[in-house]
Amino acid sequence: MRRAAEFLLGGAVVYVAMAAQAAGCASEVGPDVGPLGSGGQGGALVAGGFGGAPGGPSGEAGAVATAGEGGSGGIFNPVPAADAKSGTRLKARAYRGADGSEQPTFTWQDTERNEECSFRVAADGKVRCLPSAAVSASYFADAGCTIPAYFTATPIGCVPPPAYLFANAETCSPDGAAGVRVFERGAPPISIYGGKPGACVVLYATIPGGFVVYGAGAEVPASAFVEASIATLP
């Protein structure tokens, strides 16, 4: 009887841990690898959801269908969730099995911008559906540390170049979450800098071989993306 109780308790702990991990990683930006080799292997694009296997352009693998509703369950979503509901502009995305099954990917298709997106805090401090095909830019392309740049070791796998770069914003949401600025991917810089304005240092005057670098192009205003708010569902 004691062993049975221990087994049940252990299973409950694992389930809770998986649920917490799924909830906490829904909108995290994957870490990139800097010139000093900190962190894990870089190059993975931002995935707002966790409904797919890593390695694809937005953290998902296989055929994805746009659907107004989907199911729940699976290792990436151990906690049952309400079915996704499409709006006039954002359409819910789901894995659709050949047997008729469906499971939400927890990402959306922005039909106006024709791109996948997921909810996170934007530069204006509001929650908005920001593009999934983005990388987190933690370096700079200029000596004043004002132009964001992405710099990482060459990623392994078939990961296409991102359409956007995310950079930290000065604003925060009412609950204290930091916002991000969205930039179109621009030309790769010649040099890489680190630090902040007023304390900017050159890390690499010339980009060494075996690294991937992206520069920031034009900034996309936060108002270009669909705004959202937290609602309590019945």
Q: What angle do CA 116, 122, 126 make, to 5 degrees?
A: 110
Q: What count of other Cβ atoms lies within 10 Å of the Cβ of residue 232?
A: 4
The overall average pLDDT reported for the chain is: 74
- Give the model's confidence band at 108: pLDDT under 50 very low, under 70 low, under 90 confident, else very high: very high
- In this model, does residue 37 exceed pLDDT 50? no
Whole-number pLDDT of residue 82: 52
Between the CA atoms of 46, 49, 50 and 54, what dihedral angle is there, to the nearest 10 degrees? -30
Residue with the bigger pLDDT between 120 and 12: it is 120
Query: For residue range 126-140, what is the model confidence (pLDDT) as tens digits?
Result: 999 999 999 999 999
The pTM (predicted TM-score) of the whole model is 0.66
Check: CB of residue 131 under 8 Å from CB of residue 115: yes
Q: Which residues lie closer than 8 Å to 181 by C-beta, 6 or more apart?
A: 123, 148, 166, 167, 168, 169, 219
Query: For residue range 148-197, what is the model confidence (pLDDT) as tens digits?
Result: 999 998 877 888 899 999 999 988 988 888 999 999 999 999 999 999 99
Q: What angle do CA 65, 67, 73 make, to 5 degrees?
A: 85
- In this model, does residue 35 exceed pLDDT 70? no
